Homo-oligomer: A and B are copies of this chain.
Amino acid sequence: MAVEQYRQYIQHILAERQKRAAMQQKLNSEEYEVQTIFDEKQDHYQLLYVGWRGNRRDFGCILHLDIKDGKIWIQHDGTEEGIANRLVDMGVPKQDIILAFHEPYIRQFTEFGTN
């Protein structure tokens, strides 16, 4: 499947989750944001939260994906649903999805890609 298609899928999913996370987490803090960062040139995509809740700083990555050599690398997935399954539902072959948060030697025992 074309890399351009993967770029659109990833950005679609991250924007969708951004909306959902923003609704759940915004509460009443002015500085609280859920951001997407889309770098199409380098093919890095991230969803993160940043802000203050009273005097507590919140900052962290929710999702980080890369496209490398035509495959989607899931570097970090802090969601409950698992973005890999969502990508499969959209039609991405499992071989084109690398669960990079699993140790390299473990990946051969999953149904997903190995590199």
> Is residue A37 within 8 Å, beta carbon to beta carbon, of the partner chain?
yes
> Do A75 and B52 touch (CB < 8 A)?
no
> Do A103 and B52 touch (CB < 8 A)?
yes
> Do B38 and A42 touch (CB < 8 A)?
yes
Residues of B within 8 A of A104 (CB): 31, 52
Q: Would A35 and B31 be within 8 Å (CB), given that A55-B103, A57-B101, A61-B61 are in contact?
A: no
> Do B100 and A75 touch (CB < 8 A)?
no
Count residues on chain A whose CB falls below 8 Å from chain B CBs.
Answer: 26
A59 to B81, CA, bound (A): 20
Which A residues fall within an 8 A CB radius of B?
31, 35-39, 41-42, 44-46, 48, 50, 52, 55, 57, 59, 61, 64, 66, 75-76, 100-101, 103-104
29 inter-chain pairs at a CB distance below 8 angstroms, sorted by A residue, are: A31-B100, A31-B104, A35-B42, A35-B44, A35-B66, A36-B42, A36-B44, A37-B37, A37-B44, A37-B46, A38-B39, A38-B41, A38-B42, A39-B39, A46-B46, A48-B61, A48-B64, A50-B64, A50-B100, A52-B103, A52-B104, A55-B103, A57-B101, A57-B103, A59-B64, A59-B75, A59-B76, A59-B101, A61-B61
